[in-house]
Amino acid sequence: MHLRQLLDGRPLALPSPLDAAAERWARVPPRLRALLALLATLAVITGLHHRIAAAEARWGGTPVTVLRAVEDLPAGSPAARLEPIALPPAALPPRAVRHPPDGAVLSLPLPAGSVLTHAHLDPRGPAAHLPADVRAMPVPVEAGWQVEPGGWVDVWVLGAGQAPSRLVARSRAVLEVRRDEGMRTALVALRDDEVGPATEGLALGKVLLTHAPPPTASGARGP
């Protein structure tokens, strides 16, 4: 059946109260009908506005646009990898960032779904929030080793001649990887007692990083 056939013909039979209301509405002057329709529309819009305002007030006010991680981001990741999202003020963490500086990088890991805060952009860098007995030590790495921020490595000092290699740190976090003129330097979190042996190895150019699993509760502890 065509639409025109549905629209043509006699008026639909309405229940008596609705039929009487329709007849009274039809007798209203056209301009008055337009005015009443406009007032009804404004009333609906005003009601919706009040409901939205009440909901915003319940959550602290108008939503604020901040930045959220869409994936797990390690320390050293650029803040440009975050997406904007509008959240009510009551749902925001303290010191949420709305406009990060150009070229800003994370000084702390940011899990997926988390909101960026000023603590994640600490100007002191990735070592700002390490425990008191942990230091961030730079170790040169080759590009082919694929050592990346957020990974875990074992730190070895290679022996000279027949001397055996020594494992000086196990399952240590890679905080950042800096790239300068083709050279890569990994910032590795080492405990105080591990810094000395690693420094001696670096002085001789005999430090090697190998990929390692994250530390476990029964194994080496992380930073």
Per-residue b or e along 66-96, where b marks 16 or more CB atoms closer than 10 Å to that residue's CB: bbbbeeebbbbbebeebeeeebbeeebeeeb
Looking at per-residue pLDDT, the higher value among 10 and 158 belongs to 158
Chain mean pLDDT for the chain = 82
Task: Say which residue the tokens 């602290």 belong to.
Answer: 60
pTM of this prediction?
Answer: 0.52
The DSSP-derived string for the chain is --HHHHHSSSPP---HHHHHHHHHHHHS-HHHHHHHHHHHHHHHHHHHHHHHHHHHHHTTSS-EEEEE-SS-B-TT-BGGG-EEEEE-GGGSPTTB-SSPPTT-B-SS-B-TTPBPBGGGG-TT-GGGGS-TTEEEEEEEE-GGG---TT-EEEEEEPPSTTPPPEEEEEEEEEEEEEEETTEEEEEEEEEHHHHHHHHHHHHTT-EEEEE-PPP-TTS----
Confidence bin at 51 (pLDDT 50/70/90): confident
Which tens digits make up the pLDDT trace of 80-126? 889 999 988 888 888 899 888 888 888 777 888 899 998 888 777 77
pLDDT at residue 133 tops 70: yes
Give pLDDT, residue 2: 65
Confidence bin at 55 (pLDDT 50/70/90): low
Contact between 148 and 72 under an 8 Å Cβ cutoff? The reply is no
Residues contacting residue 187 through CB under 8 Å, at least 6 positions apart: 76, 126, 127, 136, 137, 138, 139, 174, 175, 176, 177, 178
Contact between 122 and 129 under an 8 Å Cβ cutoff? The reply is yes
pLDDT at residue 3 tops 70: no
Residue 134's Cα: distance from chain center in Å? Answer: 26
d(CA 219, CA 162): 29
Q: Domain limits of the chain?
A: 130-211
